[in-house]
Chain A
Amino acid sequence: MNPMIRLEKIQYAKKDRTILSIPSLSITQGEILGMMGPNGAGKSTLVKILSCLQTPTSGKLYYKNEELSVSRIPLEQRRKWAVVLQQTLIFDTTVFQNVAAGLKIRRVAKSIIKEKVDYWLEQFGISHLAKKNAKLLSGGEAQRVNLARALILNPEVLYLDEPFSALDYPTKVKLLKDFKAIIKNTETTTIFVSHDVTEIQFMTDRLAILMDGKVQQIGSTADVLNNPNPYTASFIHDMSLHIE
């Protein structure tokens, strides 16, 4: 097993309050790791620390067994990853330009950008919106732009923080299927945060339950959902209620 990313003794504190405390966590190359937990458990914080958008108070981060200096991540490193943040923040320009943003930043040739953007707009069923100002999109449309904007970068690691929360059910089902196929085909290592058990069951290989800033349980998705431990039992039980 090849760890793509490994955390060691990561702590994140804000005003004396420990928000996150993870003794160790590793994510294997090509796997989809799910992450669930109550509001305020620290999922988004962990995603931001993993993707080096936020500096932990202490601890170490390894990428392909090489330690990264968490406070100064080289740009080339960050450009290998893509992040879909929980809050969809769209640039005040067209849908096309929004999806193209990351490639433009990487100074990719215009003709290639055009080709790729067209492809990804198609994948997410938003080709007809290409010329529309992205600020005028509905929540679900904006979320699809946000996903396309990340996937177009063909990242080695993909961080997704509740990427499907605003999608209607038919769109979600279709996207989930396509999405999983894309991720599996490209062997993209993925961290996937969600509150939706169905999404988690369908998408992820392993599942971590985060509560109060700690990983209370981690294992194969089916195993965690079927055999919760004493810490996670009530959370998983309450969640399972509405699938029965």
Chain B
Amino acid sequence: MDLLIEGLKKAIEMLISGDPEIFEITWLTLKVSLTAVLVSTFIGIPAGVILGLISFPGRRFVLILINIGMGLPPVVAGLWITMLLWRSGPLGSFSLLYSPFAIIMAQILVSLPIIIGLTCSAFQQIDEKMLLQIKSLGATRLQTVGLLVREVKIAILAAVIAGFGRVIAEVGAAMMVGGNIRGETRILTTSIVMEVSKGNFDVALALSFLLMSLAFFITFLLTNLQQRN
């Protein structure tokens, strides 16, 4: 019990005193996660729309891959990105390993399938008669997609929220490809792991508050966007 109360006290002190390193870590976390989610969203939604609306040979196979990808263990994603960026790997010459960029790549890899998969299932559930209705109003293909996106807006934003949840919670891949380097690739999740392993529960608690606030704040914004009207 003491441990918890002491930890809480110190954590609050640390947050109030405004330790610059903590804020640097939080800022990097925010930048990296948002970049990853934005990229995943901009690729994932169009891909999900195509996969949900257009049937082509091999579509079921792609769907299976996407569904497997939705449960891809982050450490596996980390392993793949590490091998890709390794000095002797295909992209080794760019020396991107242990950079925020590498973390972003890994986070895209774990969030993209979620956004594609959930967007796709939203579009597959659209009533075929809704397509007829839109067609009957004289819509072009692009206009049809635009109208449908508005119809399944809630499900699409749920996909983005789920993707963000995966990214902000993820630690295994970020550790592996980022290396938790102080001042460079240290983000909230990786530093919590480190502080706990050092027994610094107070610092870890402070960081966890920040992580949760961040998750809460972004999810709050997205949910508001989702539930508008």
Are B137 and A48 in touch, CB under 8 angstroms?
A: no
Chain B positions within 8 Å of A, measured between CB atoms, are 127, 129-130, 132-133, 135-140, 143, 147, 150-151, 153, 229
Q: A105 and B137 in contact (CB under 8 A), knowing A89-B127, A89-B130, A91-B150?
A: yes
Partner of B136, one of A53, A91, A93, A106: A53
* Contact status A79-B138, CB under 8 Å: yes
Q: Which of B133, B135, B151, B229 has the most CB of A within 10 A?
A: B133
Query: CA A89 – CA B133 in complex, angstroms?
Result: 7
Q: 30 A-B contacts, Cβ less than 8 Å apart?
A: A51-B136, A53-B132, A53-B135, A53-B136, A75-B140, A78-B136, A79-B138, A81-B136, A82-B136, A85-B129, A85-B132, A85-B133, A85-B136, A89-B127, A89-B129, A89-B130, A89-B133, A91-B147, A91-B150, A92-B150, A92-B153, A93-B229, A101-B137, A102-B137, A105-B137, A105-B140, A105-B143, A106-B138, A149-B137, A153-B137
Number of interface residues of A (CB under 8 A): 22
Central interface residue in A48, A89, A106, A153, by most chain B CB within 10 Å: A89
Interface SS of chain B? helix
Please, how many angstroms separate the alpha-carbon atoms of A174 and B180 in the complex?
74
Select the residue from B130, B135, B147, B153 with max chain A CB neighbours within 10 A.
B135
Within the complex, the shortest CB–CB distance from B182 to chain A, in Å, comes to: 49
Complex Cα–Cα for A92 and B154 (A) = 11
Establish whether residues B127 and A102, one from each chain, have CB atoms under 8 Å apart when the complex forms.
Answer: no
Residues of chain A within 8 A of B130, CB atoms compared: 89
**Is A188 among interface residues, defined by CB-CB distance under 8 A?**
no
Q: Tell me the residues in window 89-122 of chain A with beta carbons closer than 8 Å to chain B beta carbons.
A: 89, 91-93, 101-102, 105-106
Q: A87 in the interface, Cβ–Cβ < 8 Å? A: yes
Tell me whether B132 and A93 are in contact (CB under 8 A).
Answer: no
Q: How far is the CA of A133 from the CA of B147 in the complex (A)?
A: 16
Apart from A75-B140, A85-B129, 16 more pairs, CB < 8 Å: A51-B136, A53-B136, A75-B138, A78-B136, A78-B138, A82-B136, A85-B132, A85-B133, A85-B136, A87-B129, A92-B153, A93-B150, A101-B137, A102-B138, A105-B140, A153-B138
Chain B: CB-nearest residue to A77: B138
Q: How far is the CA of A75 from the CA of B138 in the complex (A)?
A: 6
